[in-house]
Amino acid sequence: MSFQPTFPGLFSPAQGAQPVPTGAMLPATEKQIAYATMLAAKSGDPLPEGITADRAALSKWIDAHKAPAPQGRFSDYPSSKQVAFAERIARLKRNPVPPECFKDRTLMSRWIDSNKPR
């Protein structure tokens, strides 16, 4: 005799439920469409026909048409939002942010990930 409860049909498909195909196209989000429209207006290139029906295709189009990240002396420094978030975490945890994190965005990101409150 077993004392473990049984739940018949727990792992069988529910009535009317259909599995989601892994290769299904998801429609683009409103934010993606707004950003792509803004980029298209700036560049003068129209959005390709029907691209808003595929999230991945629109994402590739955005990546190809957005401005490149600025390169320069301070391009590896963390953003002001990153620094502000890290300092807020440091106040909550009463643990200072290491000084080297203020000169490298990757280090700051890792420090934030390892210290953010859960």
**C-alpha dihedral, 91 to 94 to 99 to 102, nearest 10°:** -30
Per-residue pLDDT band for 110 (boundaries 50, 70, 90) equals: very high
16-73 pLDDT, tens digit per residue, is 556 555 667 899 999 999 999 999 999 888 999 999 899 999 999 999 999 887 788 8
Task: Give the residue from 64, 59, 69, 29 showing the smallest Cα distance to 43.
Answer: 64
Angle between helices 105-115 and 80-93 (to 10 degrees): 30
- In this prediction, residue 82 carries a pLDDT of 95
Q: CA 67, CA 3: separation in Å to the nearest integer?
A: 63
Whether 112 and 85 have beta carbons less than 8 Å apart is answered as yes
The pTM of the whole model exceeds 0.95: no
